[in-house]
Chain A
Amino acid sequence: MQKQEFTITVYTENQVGLLNRIAIIFSRRKINIESLNTSPSEVDSVHRFTIVINEYEEVVRKLCRQIEKQVDVLKAYYNTNDEIVWQELAMYKVPTDVIAEEVKVERLLSQHGAKAVVIRKDYTVFEVSGHREETDKLIEVLEPFGLIEFVRSARVAIIKNSDGFHSKLKEFEYKEPGEHAVENEFLDKNQEVFSM
């Protein structure tokens, strides 16, 4: 087994301090978080964390259990990259005069699917969403043309084989949840969406 990129999706209550509670599960074990995003989810009042780490599957499974053990966490899933659809958003600030002068730049930008978000006299901001390699490539392209600023967001990911959280949440709200809510790994290992 090798270390690989895993995306952890955590459904949680919206509680102050929960971010810290989840983050220290990683830092305590000296595991670096590559990317972390928090956002609302498909369910009103339920939050969704998307965490990317590079680890062995065994470690990721244990981490998910530790995460799920937290009182305010509803569910944690982990997936490999081929089980998810994912994107990161990048923004690039470049001097406007360079772009205006060099036709090549415009062509390069459109080749990379960049869209102008803001155009000012002094600079233009482009946006690209995609996988990391793609957004990274554009940095290289733009550097010779005086890239002023670059920023990239955390990963957001959709699990290909997930039915979303609406029905699960209903289970959770019952005092005696069905087996869905308390999935047992040994039985569910055939499921395509890894979950615990």
Chain B
Amino acid sequence: METLELKKQKVEEVKPITISGSAAVLEAFLAEGVDTIFGYPGGAIMPIYDALYDYNNRLKHILVRHEQGAIHAAQGYARASGKTGVVFATSGPAATNLVTGLADAMIDSTPVVCVTGQVFAHLLGTDAFQETDVINITTPITKWNYQVTDAKEIPSVLAKAFHIAGTGRPGPVLIDITKNAQLQMIEYSGYEKCTHIRSYRPKPIVRKEYIEEAAKLINEAKKPFVIFGQGVILGKAEKEFTKFIEKGGLPAAWTIMGMSAIPTNHPLAVGMLGMHGNYGPNLLTNECDVLIAVGMRFDDRVTGRLDKYAKQAKVIHLDIDPAEIDKNVKATVGVWGDCKETLPLLTELIQQKVYPQWLKQFKDCTTKEEDKVIKEELNPSKDELTMGEVIKLLNDLTKGEAIIVTDVGQHQMVACRYAQMNQSKSNITSGGLGTMGFALPAAIGAKYGAPDRTVVAIIGDGGVQMTIQELGTIMQFKPDVKILILNNSFLGMVRQWQELFHQNRYSFVDITSPDFVQVAKGYYIDGQSVNERSKLKGALETMLNHKGSYLLEVKVGKENNVFPMVPQGRGVAEIVLCKEEL
């Protein structure tokens, strides 16, 4: 069949050399600036691994312990570096092991290119050994996927893959290559990057009319409020965004995915949105008169009940993905486009302003939250350790310079609530999918993506047991990852819901753990466990100063809850500060 790819290949060929399809894959990686591959070999991808043998000095390959680990590592790499993460896996069970990571990368817009091996083309559909229909399995969880059965397609398909994964609203791409195509010899005349696909428009064209309308709304606003998501980070528009809020004097709150796009201590930063976000930004969402959403998608964890969400406000929504505008919240003015382009245009048209009264309302909320929640969390009166005090000490020691990779649960919410972050790409977490087991492999990837930064993985005792095998990857390749387990001996977040909404009926949330320090020792990773306040700071210092990876387990109070909380099914303004308010 003459596909589009083959047609394109026909034009202009210059002095070709003969290489295998497998080598063509690796040549594509080199041309795309890939330096690290996370992967795991197997039958259907052996030709590519064979070729890799000769590229070993130019491409680093990290052998993970499970393919889920490979893709989470690639995600961590992408999120820490801003580049596209790359994964190799074989067919069948290996490909299906990627599914969770693909879904995670899809919902969190993370650029990843996965190359999976596939059985010989002539065996497709015969239930061959380790054959699985990976293209159809992954269709809803990839931005694009494609099966290659003819090696001549490899250069242009990979060029497309990188273009699609990394541009516009980024996302995961999976390329499934049959074994015959990996082995096939082709005439190769160099790699050409893909810069345009006629059916794919990564960035909608910016229309000035909407910028003008948006600016007008902002200029007339008495209580404007900016909420931003990961779009600011993905668009590399941190500076543009900062200029925008600073000129407009606009208070700004982040979604969990947007965190660190501006320093957490920026004077206009008013905290985190969402179910366990800060009191002020949630409450005042329903008091602002103009709500300016930048690169965020109004997830239900951010909006709570939609029919009680910001009904009083005019909504300006800036997004690169047209499908997001009006999807959940109807925009008064939708500004389609890359925020790196739209924000400066908007900044130019808005007036220089300050809103002292309005900002004071946020400050008052903070004071209330401090009194009712934060004080006790960060400076507990009880003997039991809290997760919050661990994060506070970590802030003191890292000065907000570390990359914090979190798993999913109470520790994630607490870490994101209290961690201090001075620079962008410091917060790596599974926001949209809430994938337990994400943090350990993602932290490994983050270290390769940002080798000069301290990487701290903060994980619950439940989540760490989901991908604990990746300690083996750390043992073998020695990325310097600090592993901080906040052990409450429960599946804490589920326990909290059972306590609050299921009348204390603790149904299978009591989880036992191995001796984590011993486990780490088994992997030749140093570590210790603490359960006393007096030892905590020293232990954190030891961890951070340790040469190489280190595991620190902190035993915290078993039945602490994360507050504030917007209970499910309620409006954002119905946020509660403690159990009694529920």
Contact = CB atoms under 8 A, between A and B. Distances in A.
B210 interface: yes
Given A71-B164, A74-B198, A186-B210, A177 B205 contact: yes
Interface in A133-192: 169, 172-173, 175, 177-179, 181-182, 184-187
Interface string B197-224: 1111100110101100000000000000
Given A24-B139, A184-B336, A186-B210, A172 B198 contact: yes
B144 interface: yes
Interface of A: 12-17, 20-21, 24, 28, 45, 61-62, 65-66, 68-69, 71-74, 169, 172-173, 175, 177-179, 181-182, 184-187, 196
Given A17-B135, A17-B139, A20-B136, A72 B205 contact: no
A15 B4 CA distance: 8
Given A65-B323, A71-B143, 18 more contacts: A13-B199, A14-B4, A15-B3, A15-B146, A16-B147, A17-B139, A17-B145, A24-B139, A24-B140, A62-B323, A65-B322, A71-B144, A169-B198, A172-B199, A175-B196, A184-B204, A186-B333, A187-B207
B198 A173 contact: yes
A177 B197 CA distance: 11
Interface of B: 3-4, 135-136, 139-140, 143-147, 164, 195-201, 204-205, 207, 209-210, 321-323, 326-327, 333-334, 336
A173 B195 CA distance: 12
B323 A187 contact: no
A62 B326 contact: yes
Contacts of B327: 62, 65
11 contacts: A14-B4, A15-B146, A17-B135, A20-B139, A65-B323, A65-B327, A71-B143, A71-B199, A72-B144, A177-B201, A184-B210
Contacts of A24: 139-140
A138 B207 CA distance: 52
Contacts, number: 76
Contacts of B207: 179, 184, 187
A71 B200 contact: yes
B211 to A, nearest CB: 12
Contact of B201 (A15, A21, A62, A181): A181
Query: Mostly helix, strand, loop or mixed at chain B's interface?
Result: mixed
Query: Mostly helix, strand, loop or mixed at chain A's interface?
Result: mixed
Given A65-B323, A72-B199, A182-B205, A13 B4 contact: yes
Nearest to A27: B140
The 5 closest A-B pairs by CB, nearest first: A65-B323, A182-B205, A172-B198, A71-B144, A74-B199
Contacts of B201: 172, 177, 181-182
Contacts of B322: 65, 68-69, 196
Nearest to B204: A182
A15 B199 CA distance: 12
Contacts of B147: 16-17
Contacts of A62: 323, 326-327
Contacts of A69: 321-323
Contacts of A73: 199
B139 A21 contact: yes
A173 B199 CA distance: 8
A16 B197 CA distance: 17
Among B195, B197, B201, the one with the most A-chain Cβ atoms within 10 Å of its Cβ is B201
A21 B4 CA distance: 18
Contacts of A68: 322-323
A182 B198 CA distance: 12
Contacts of A179: 205, 207
A75 B396 CA distance: 53
A8 to B, nearest CB: 15
A17 B210 contact: no
A66 to B, nearest CB: 5
A13 B3 CA distance: 10
Nearest to B333: A186
A63 B210 CA distance: 23
A20 B145 CA distance: 12
Contacts of B323: 62, 65-66, 68-69
A14 B135 CA distance: 16
Contacts of B145: 17
Nearest to B213: A186
A37 B340 CA distance: 40
A50 to B, nearest CB: 18
Nearest to A75: B199
A69 B106 CA distance: 13
A181 B322 CA distance: 13
B209 A187 contact: yes
A62 B139 CA distance: 19
Nearest to A176: B205
A175 B327 CA distance: 28
A28 B140 contact: yes
A74 B4 CA distance: 14
A18 B139 CA distance: 9
Contacts of B210: 184, 186
Contacts of B321: 69
B475 to A, nearest CB: 39
Contacts of B204: 182, 184
A72 to B, nearest CB: 5
A186 B210 CA distance: 9
A88 to B, nearest CB: 28
Contacts of A169: 198
